[in-house]
Chain A
Amino acid sequence: MQFGIMSVSDITRDPVSGYTPSEAERIDAIVKIAVHAEEVGLDVFAVGEHHNPPFFSSSPTTLLSHIGALTERLVLTTSTTLITTNDPVRLAEEYAMLQHLTKGRMDLMLGRGNTAPVYPWFGQDIRQGLPLALENYNLLHRLWREDVVDFEGQFRTALQGFTSTPRPLDDVPPFVWHGSIRTPEIAEQAAFYGNGYFANNIFWPKEHYKRLIRFYRQRFEHYGHGTQKQAVVGLGGQAFIAKNSQDAHDQFRPYFNEAPVYGHGPTMEDFEEMTPLSVGSPQEVIDKTLTFREAFGDYQRQLFLVDHAGLPLKMVLEQLDLMGEHVVPVLREELDKLRDPESPSNPPSHADLVHAKYGDAEPRQPRPNANRGDNVTGGSPYQDSESTVGSYPTL
Chain B
Amino acid sequence: MTDFRLVVVSAGVSDPSSTRLLADRATQRVTALARERGHAVTVTTIDLRELLQELPAALSSQLLGPRFTRAVDALVAADAVVAAAPVYKAGASGLFTSFFQVLDNDLLIGKPVILAATAGTARHALVVDEEMRALFAYLRALPVPTSLFASTEDWTDTALGTRIDRAARELVLLMESGFARAVRDDAWGAYQHTYGSGGGTELDIDLSSDMMRLATGGSLRDPEDDPFDPRKA
Residues of A at under 8 Å CB distance from B?
A: 130-131, 134-135, 138, 141, 152-154, 182-186, 188-189, 192-193, 203-205, 207-208, 211-212, 215, 261-262, 264-267, 270-271, 274-275
CB neighbours (8 Å) of A204 from chain B are 63
CB neighbours (8 Å) of A186 from chain B are 215
A-B CB contacts (within 8 Å), total count: 85
Interface status of B212 (Cβ within 8 A of chain A): yes
Find out whether the CB atom of B211 lies under 8 angstroms from the CB atom of A131. yes
Q: How far is the CB of A20 from chain B (nearest CB, A)?
A: 23
If A135-B220, A154-B220, A205-B200 touch, does A274 touch B215 (CB 8 Å cutoff)? no
CB neighbours (8 Å) of B203 from chain A are 211
- Over the window 194-218 of chain B, the binary record of Cβ atoms lying under 8 Å from chain A Cβ atoms (1 yes, 0 no) is 1110001001010100011011110
Bound CA span A182–B200, Å:
11
If A184-B205, A185-B215, A215-B205 touch, does A262 touch B196 (CB 8 Å cutoff)? no
Within the complex, which residue of B196, B205, B214 is in contact with A205, where a contact is CB–CB below 8 Å?
Answer: B196
If A138-B217, A185-B215, A188-B215 touch, does A266 touch B64 (CB 8 Å cutoff)? no
CB neighbours (8 Å) of A193 from chain B are 217
Q: How far is the CB of A259 from chain B (nearest CB, A)?
A: 10
Interface status of B57 (Cβ within 8 A of chain A): yes
What are some 20 contacts across the A-B interface (CB < 8 A)?
Answer: A130-B211, A131-B211, A134-B215, A138-B214, A182-B195, A185-B211, A185-B214, A188-B212, A188-B216, A189-B215, A189-B216, A192-B215, A203-B62, A205-B64, A211-B196, A211-B203, A261-B61, A262-B60, A265-B60, A266-B56
Bound CA span A32–B113, Å:
59
Within the complex, which residue of A265, A270, A274 is in contact with B59, where a contact is CB–CB below 8 Å?
Answer: A265
If A184-B195, A265-B56, A266-B57 touch, does A203 touch B63 (CB 8 Å cutoff)? yes
CB neighbours (8 Å) of B65 from chain A are 270, 274
Interface status of B28 (Cβ within 8 A of chain A): no
CB neighbours (8 Å) of A211 from chain B are 196, 203
Chain A residue nearest in CB terms to B206: A184
CB neighbours (8 Å) of A212 from chain B are 195
Q: Which of B19-71 contact A (CB under 8 A)?
A: 54, 56-57, 59-65
- List 13 additional contacts besides A182-B195, A274-B65; criterion CB under 8 Å: A130-B211, A131-B220, A154-B219, A154-B220, A188-B215, A192-B215, A203-B62, A205-B200, A207-B196, A211-B203, A261-B61, A266-B56, A274-B57
If A205-B200, A262-B61, A270-B57 touch, does A135 touch B205 (CB 8 Å cutoff)? no
CB neighbours (8 Å) of B60 from chain A are 262, 264-266
The number of residues on chain B lying at the interface, defined by a beta carbon within 8 Å of a beta carbon of chain A, is 25
Find out whether the CB atom of A131 lies under 8 angstroms from the CB atom of B56. no
Find out whether the CB atom of B212 lies under 8 angstroms from the CB atom of A207. no
Bound CA span A184–B56, Å:
29
If A131-B220, A192-B215 touch, does A182 touch B56 (CB 8 Å cutoff)? no
CB neighbours (8 Å) of B59 from chain A are 265
Q: How far is the CB of B224 from chain A (nearest CB, A)?
A: 16
Q: How far is the CB of A165 from chain B (nearest CB, A)?
A: 23
Q: How far is the CB of A138 from chain B (nearest CB, A)?
A: 6
Bound CA span A97–B79, Å:
59
Find out whether the CB atom of A135 lies under 8 angstroms from the CB atom of B63. no
Bound CA span A266–B215, Å:
36
Bound CA span A15–B57, Å:
21
Bound CA span A267–B53, Å:
10
Q: How far is the CB of B173 from chain A (nearest CB, A)?
A: 36
Find out whether the CB atom of A183 lies under 8 angstroms from the CB atom of B195. yes
If A135-B214, A154-B220, A189-B215 touch, does A275 touch B195 (CB 8 Å cutoff)? no
Bound CA span A185–B205, Å:
9
> Which 9 pairs of residues, A with B, have the shortest CB-CB distance?
A265-B60, A266-B57, A189-B215, A134-B214, A192-B216, A208-B196, A188-B215, A184-B205, A185-B215
CB neighbours (8 Å) of A131 from chain B are 211, 214, 220
Bound CA span A189–B194, Å:
18
Bound CA span A291–B171, Å:
46
Chain B residue nearest in CB terms to A132: B214
Q: How far is the CB of B55 from chain A (nearest CB, A)?
A: 10
Chain B residue nearest in CB terms to A142: B217
Within the complex, which residue of A183, A185, A192 is in contact with B217, where a contact is CB–CB below 8 Å?
Answer: A192
Find out whether the CB atom of B196 lies under 8 angstroms from the CB atom of A134. no
Find out whether the CB atom of B211 lies under 8 angstroms from the CB atom of A265. no
CB neighbours (8 Å) of B195 from chain A are 182-184, 208, 212
Chain A residue nearest in CB terms to B216: A192
Bound CA span A267–B57, Å:
8
Bound CA span A141–B196, Å:
29
Chain B residue nearest in CB terms to A180: B195
